Amino acid sequence: MKDSSCKWLNLQTYFERLRQDDELQKIWYFTALVHGAAASRQQPYLEALSTLPKVEIKYGLFKDKTQKCKVTSCTLPNSQKSYKVNEEKGTDVNIALQMLDDAYQGLCDRIILVSGDSDLVPAVDLVKKRHPQIKVSVYIPATNPKRGAATELRNSADNHHTLIPNNLMVKSQFPVKVTISPTRTISKPASW
């Protein structure tokens, strides 16, 4: 959704349309709370998601990481060639654990994984080894061909799809205003 104009996505409606032949049990949404200006967009979205009965949010975290500038022509003094970036931590582990837990508890006969992260290959392989009756489908949410390759993840899944259908995303947006409680509504972020 990063490069999409469809960020105000009702995940439950979307996956009910995408997987019409499946009986949708649960949608796990994995994220980390962002800081700064992006939080003013993320928070309303998370609140909108919380109104959906089949969606559950699991949080990782962002950790500050210092990186060195790799631009060889950089003229800054050496002491200023470092900068801080946020790195999301725990999300891939949370996804892997949830897949394994759902399989172990017998809560599903199919897992739909929306990711291009090859760190999830061992979890997919273990689900398939321990629970061969569970089918794993992977959707790679990338328009960039390099990121969209995700060859290892594709190969570990029972089936895979290159892109998430954009036309379904357009049809599955929350309304501009979402009712959170009888006395409170939230609005789609203006920049979305």
Identify the CATH number of the domain in which residue 172 sits.
3.40.50.1010
The verdict on residue 5 lying in a domain is no
Give a yes or no: residue 70 inside a domain: no
Q: CA 188, CA 192: separation in Å to the nearest integer?
A: 7
Distance CA 87, CA 61 (A): 8
Q: How many domains does the chain have?
A: 1
- Average pLDDT value for residue range 142-151: 67
In a domain, 190, yes or no: no
Q: What is the pLDDT of residues 93-135, one digit of tens each?
A: 999 999 999 999 999 999 999 999 999 999 999 999 999 999 9
Residue 55 is which amino acid?
V
What is the crossing angle of helices 121-130 and 91-104, to 10°? Answer: 10
Question: Is 160 inside a domain boundary?
Answer: yes
Cα 135 to Cα 128: distance, rounded to the nearest angstrom: 7
pLDDT at 3: 61
**Cα–Cα dist 162/141, whole Å:** 7
Has residue 76 been placed in a domain? no
pLDDT at residue 70, rounded to an integer:
75
Q: Report residue 8's pLDDT band, with 50, 70 and 90 as the boundaries.
A: very high
Structural tokens at position 97? 């654990």
Residue span of the structural domain in which 26 resides: 11-65+81-185
Q: Let me know if residue 111 belongs to a domain.
A: yes
Q: pLDDT (tens digit, 9 = 90+) per residue, 38-96?
A: 899 999 999 999 999 999 999 998 887 788 777 777 777 766 677 777 778 889 999 99
Written as one letter, the residue type at 99 is M
CB 124 within 8 A of CB 113: yes
Residue 74 belongs to some domain of the structure: no
Tell me, letter by letter, the H, E, C secondary structure of 43-71. HHHHHHHCCCCCEEEEECEEEEEEEECCC
- 75 within some domain: no
